Structure 1
């Protein structure tokens, strides 16, 4: 699996700042709507439901919000780079500037887990995170996310 299978170029965005975690989730909803036609309000609701179970800020400035939703036929992703990090209730209490959201069908058991593992593994690579943070162009960010060898899984 490669991130190009779940991420469209239109689902990559750079945002100057988000006023809060909730505002960032709304930005993800808007991005999912623009890129995949998903209902923005439903995306936000699903992400908030998942966040209520425990924060998805995994540390080192990275958050991996994810949710299962009806109306999807396969796993989809969206990425936001924040120029000004936001508090995301991360495990290390550090603000977040790299946010990769996953949206999966309600019945996508193993595919959802494979995608989550791929994204998680990829963002543990400091060199990839540095490359992403060093670029403010969505097309360049998309190329980094989808073509880097570190962003692939067997």
Structure 2
């Protein structure tokens, strides 16, 4: 599993501000629909259902919302950088501004876990998050995310 397989350049976006966690879920779903053709209403429902099991804010301003979508054939990702952090009920109670959403087929199993581990490992790196926060341009963010992985492999 790698970022080049997981993320399209058009699935990366910078948003000035989201008014709430629910609004952010809608933004993630809209981005997934535009980039991958995933039904936005189905994506929002799946994200909110998963979030009801426990918040996906992992700390240090990072959230990794994820959901299973029946019509998908591959695990795919969307990335949003928020100019203004929002309350996400994260484990460390810090607001969130770096958000990577994952959508997986119902039967993804290990592939979903590998993708989640890759994203989590990458966004745990303070240097990667600092670069992301310092470059509010979608094309640059995509490059940072896909480059970061090749550096980790090397």
TM (norm. structure 2) is 0.97
Deviations 1:9-68 (A, max 9, x none): 000000000000000000001000000011000000000000000000000000000001
Displacement after TM superposition at 1:140 (Å): 0.3
The answer on 1:4 being equivalent to 2:4 is yes
- Unpaired segments ≥5 residues, structure 2: none
After TM superposition, list the pairs within 5 Å mapping 1:35-46 onto structure 2: 35-46=35-46
In the other structure, the counterpart of 2:49 is 49
1:83 aligned onto 2:117: no
Structure 1 length normalisation: TM-score? 0.97
Q: How many residues are matched?
A: 154
Moved over 2 A (4+): 149-153
For 1:90-109, what aligned pairs fall within 5 Å after superposition?
90-109=90-109
RMSD of equivalent CA atoms: 1.4
Classify the secondary structure of the residue corresponding to 1:67: strand
Change (3 A) 1:51 1:10: same
Deviations 1:48-99 (A, max 9, x none): 0000000000000000000011100010000000000010000000000000
Give structure 1 stretches of 5+ with no counterpart: none
Instruction: Quote how far apart the aligned CAs of 1:149 are.
Output: 3.6
CA contact (8 A) 1:3 1:152 kept: no
Where do 1:65-80 residues align within 5 Å? 65-80=65-80
Quote how far apart the aligned CAs of 1:2 are.
1.6
